[in-house]
Structure 1
Amino acid sequence: MKFVATEDIAAPIDVVWARVSDLEGFEARARDRVTGLVRTPPGPAAQGSKWTGRAEVMGKTREVTVTAEALDAPNRLMAAAATDGMDVTIDVVLESLAPARTRLTVTTEAKAKTLTARLMLQSAKLARQAMAKRYKARVANFAARVEKAAG
């Protein structure tokens, strides 16, 4: 299952990149939803950093691992998550449209590796339209916050 959302932001690409690549900020917000969140290796978050913890996924508490796969400033961030037979990739691409305008494209794709995960994705596909609407709204909300902070 794949979701894509694109937003144009009235801010320079470097400003948007600073917010997109704020891994410590994302980690701090994740602590509200993920129990026992641990980052390895210790120190500043960077490409190759890995977070593990337990979170509610599809109504059940599951072990989750997220890895920062690529940090190509200021154009691309990619993260990979894994839980109970399912792999999820998050790909964030920034494109400079003008000195003070940036296009943000966020693509999230979930792939099942087990029958149980395939059944979970199949049930999620029944709510695909509502999930896509929420996904686009969250990306739009993030873009609005970045734009507001940029002034």
Structure 2
Amino acid sequence: MKFSSTEDIEAPIDAVFRAVSNFNTIERSALRRGARVQRVDRKTHPSTRIAWDVGFSFRGKKRDMLIELTEFDEPNRLLAQSLSGGLEGEVMVNLVALSKNRTRMLIDIDLKPKTLSARLMVQSMRLAKTKLTKRYHLKVAGFASGIEDRFKNGKLG
């Protein structure tokens, strides 16, 4: 099951990349939403592989997920892969400079069920695909708007 969204941001590609690769901010955001987030590596430079052990509730059940940053191509692309039970996922962020101060951000999520229970979960998500897609687009648009606002206020450099 795939979700895809594209947003144009009034900020240079380097500033947008700094925002989407600010893992400390993303970790804090997940913690505020009730997730348990723990880095499972001791790497200090983002170009090396970084991984997280994440716990959260989904549909009334506690879930555990391992997320690993597998590609870090500054300032163009990030790829994170995840595994939760029998569900594999990929989140790909591609950035394209449209001009000196305008960047196109494409965020794709691909979920692949590997077990029967994961297939059943994805099938139920397919039944609600329109609603989930709308929520996904709103979240990505809000994320892009936040990046734009932080850049305009001088908080991204």
Q: Would the TM-score normalized by the shorter structure come out above 0.5?
A: yes
Match of 1:28 in 2: 28
Name the CA distance, whole Å, in 1 between partners of 2:137 and 2:12: 21
Matched, 1:89 2:90: yes
Match of 1:121 in 2: 122
| Contact preservation (8 Å) 1:24, 1:45 | no
Match of 1:77 in 2: 78
Matched, 1:147 2:148: yes
- What are the Cα deviations for residues 41-90 of structure 1, in whole angstroms up to 9, with x where unaligned? 12536241111132113331111111111111000011111101001100
Name the CA distance, whole Å, in 1 between partners of 2:144 and 2:150: 10
Please, what TM-score do these two structures have when normalized by structure 1? 0.94
Change (3 A) 1:45 1:80: farther
Letter in 1 for 2:40: T
Change (3 A) 1:26 1:150: same
| Contact preservation (8 Å) 2:2, 2:108 | yes
Matched, 1:13 2:25: no
Match of 1:61 in 2: 62
Q: Which moved more, 1:23-32 or 1:105-114?
A: 23-32
| Contact preservation (8 Å) 2:7, 2:141 | yes
| Contact preservation (8 Å) 2:70, 2:79 | yes
State how 1:35-54 maps to structure 2 within 5 Å.
35=36, 37-44=37-44, 46=46, 47-54=48-55
Letter in 2 for 1:27: E
Name the CA distance, whole Å, in 1 between partners of 2:78 and 2:60: 28
Change (3 A) 1:45 1:124: farther
Please, what TM-score do these two structures have when normalized by structure 2? 0.91
Name the CA distance, whole Å, in 2 between partners of 1:45 and 1:38: 17
| Contact preservation (8 Å) 2:54, 2:67 | no
Q: Provide the aligned C-alpha RMSD in A.
A: 1.3
Name the CA distance, whole Å, in 2 between partners of 1:133 and 1:67: 27
Name the CA distance, whole Å, in 1 between partners of 2:28 and 2:67: 14
5+ residue gaps, structure 1, are none
Count of paired positions: 150
